[in-house]
């Protein structure tokens, strides 16, 4: 989460399972009512709209985005994932509306915030622990909000406070939003999304454990101790609880503010982040997989990149990393047979996948690896690769019923790759990708 002053209004978080279920139930009823009315109007005009046309409308997207932003927690988190992972499958207007979920959240009012902190630290926490505590958050996201504070001995802290009821409602939120996804036809009926939902629940339970996130924060601090170009906040374990994370406040500007910086500065920042990405995968086998731009700050005076929010940190098995190394090596060598074998072993498709779909997917892999093959820096600001990848994906729509959810580890990795690619494109950076990946292959 970035440390800029947060301006959205305060709204209490629905914290009981019943209140959260009723809000989603109300949303379903509202959308269903709108669909019925729209269908009646269009039938009266002699049209024969499909259910998908009736459901996937900007008005319904607005209702969904507004309700998920109000609920926060796992419901909003799943909405964020839909906006990222299914964005190309949605009408542009709907994708744009849902994309708001990645940058906007309401914050809880002081009465609700105080209740959470009273339970965590005792009712006298404000006088006992802090000289100052800003009750207005500097950031708010799907699971928690961040406040700035100063201890009696002068340490500046960032305190992340989890919304009440988030942990207890994760499973039901994911199930309820999955029902909405199915109703909207965002996922083909033939695709079994149960493994993905189970993994989403597991990941969200881990993200909602701030003591676990604190350990990951400290772990990354140790792993990057040899790289002064990066900075991670210092953990304050004595103030950290399951639902409160205390860390040092680190000054910086949002990473995407670099869009106005000189070319060399943008190139350097993205070279560092892409180098870190490959190091996380191949050396640490431990990756912060949330690609939200707000998880990075930039300190202009020192040129350091500040890394925030380690809730979505994922450890990769050695076998998976070795297979991914084989996949990339084959792609770089132009070895299509080796690429196919590695992708098959990773689980991107199986022996029953139609040959034309497999061929199209192989071509997409080769297309995505192409920037790693060139000896010169890759110019993210002057490429149509993302458009060509999207067009290739749309061309496979005829095989929608044969799609399968990628292996979970690959899904998280691809999300991180995609987020870094988007950031590099936003900054118009030029990066020698081959030089960054060569040492790891």
Q: Which of 53, 290, 322, 432 is catalytic?
A: 290
**Six-digit token pair at 69?**
């932003």
Q: For tokens 């800003």, name the residue.
A: 134
> 262's torsion region: left (phi>0), alpha (psi -120 to 50) or beta?
beta
- Report the SS3 class of residue 331: helix
**Six-digit token pair at 205?**
């339970």
Burial (CB count <10 Å: 0-12, 13-18, 19+), residue 228: exposed
300 vs 143, 159, 229, 261, 306, CA distance in Å? Answer: 29, 24, 12, 10, 11
Cα first-last separation, the chain: 33
E strand residue ranges, 188-291? 230-231, 244-248, 253-254, 286-288
* Residues 6+ away with beta carbon under 8 Å from 64: 27, 31, 79, 98, 180
Q: Nearest-CA neighbor of 140 among 107, 101, 163?
A: 107
391 is catalytic: no
How far is C-alpha 341 from the chain's CA centre?
Answer: 29
* In contact, 189 and 139? CB cutoff 8 Å: no
Question: Beta 144-151 vs 156-162: how paired, if at all?
Answer: antiparallel
* Residues 6+ away with beta carbon under 8 Å from 96: none
Q: In whole angstroms, give the CA distance from residue 174 to residue 217.
A: 26
How far is C-alpha 267 from the chain's CA centre?
Answer: 23
Which residues carry out catalysis? 290
């Amino acid at each position: 989460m970035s440390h800029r002053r947060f301006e959205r209004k305060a709204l209490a978080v629905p914290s009981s399972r019943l209140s959260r279920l009723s809000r989603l139930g109300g949303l379903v009823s509202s959308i269903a009512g709108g669909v019925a009315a729209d269908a009646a109007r269009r039938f009266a005009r002699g049209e024969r709209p499909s259910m998908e046309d009736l459901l996937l409308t900007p008005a319904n997207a607005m209702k969904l985005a507004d309700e998920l932003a109000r609920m926060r927690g796992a419901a909003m988190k799943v909405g964020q994932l839909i906006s990222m992972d299914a964005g190309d499958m949605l009408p542009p207007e709907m994708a744009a509306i849902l994309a708001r979920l990645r940058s906007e959240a309401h914050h809880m009012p002081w009465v609700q915030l105080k209740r959470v902190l009273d339970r965590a630290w005792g009712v006298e926490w404000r006088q006992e622990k802090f000289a100052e505590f800003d009750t207005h958050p500097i950031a708010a996201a799907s699971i928690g909000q961040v406040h700035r504070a100063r201890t009696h001995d002068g340490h500046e802290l960032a305190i992340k406070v989890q919304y009440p009821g988030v942990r207890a409602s994760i499973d039901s939120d994911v199930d309820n939003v999955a029902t909405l996804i199915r109703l909207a036809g965002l996922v083909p009926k033939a695709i079994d999304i149960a493994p993905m939902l189970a993994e989403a629940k597991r990941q969200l339970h881990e993200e909602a454990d701030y003591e676990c996130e604190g350990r990951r924060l400290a772990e990354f601090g140790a792993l990057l101790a040899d790289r002064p170009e990066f900075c991670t906040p210092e953990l304050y374990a004595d103030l950290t609880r399951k639902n409160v994370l205390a860390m040092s406040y680190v000054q910086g500007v949002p990473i995407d503010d670099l869009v106005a910086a000189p070319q060399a500065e943008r190139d350097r920042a993205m070279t560092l982040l892409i180098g870190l990405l490959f190091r996380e995968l191949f050396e640490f086998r431990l990756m912060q997989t949330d690609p939200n731009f707000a998880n990075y700050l930039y300190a202009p005076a020192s040129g350091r990149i500040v890394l925030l929010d380690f809730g979505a940190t994922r450890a990769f098995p050695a076998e998976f990393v070795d297979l991914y190394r084989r996949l990339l090596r084959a792609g770089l060598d132009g070895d299509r047979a080796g690429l196919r074998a590695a992708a098959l072993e990773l689980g991107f498709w199986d022996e029953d996948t139609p040959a034309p779909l497999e061929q199209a997917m192989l071509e997409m892999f080769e297309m995505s690896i192409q920037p790693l093959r060139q000896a010169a820096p890759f110019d993210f600001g002057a490429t149509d690769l993302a458009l060509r990848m999207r067009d290739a994906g749309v061309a496979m729509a005829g095989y929608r019923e044969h799609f399968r959810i990628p292996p979970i580890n690959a899904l998280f990795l691809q999300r991180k790759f995609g987020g870094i690619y988007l950031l590099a494109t936003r900054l118009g950076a030029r990066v020698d990708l081959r030089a960054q990946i060569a040492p790891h292959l």
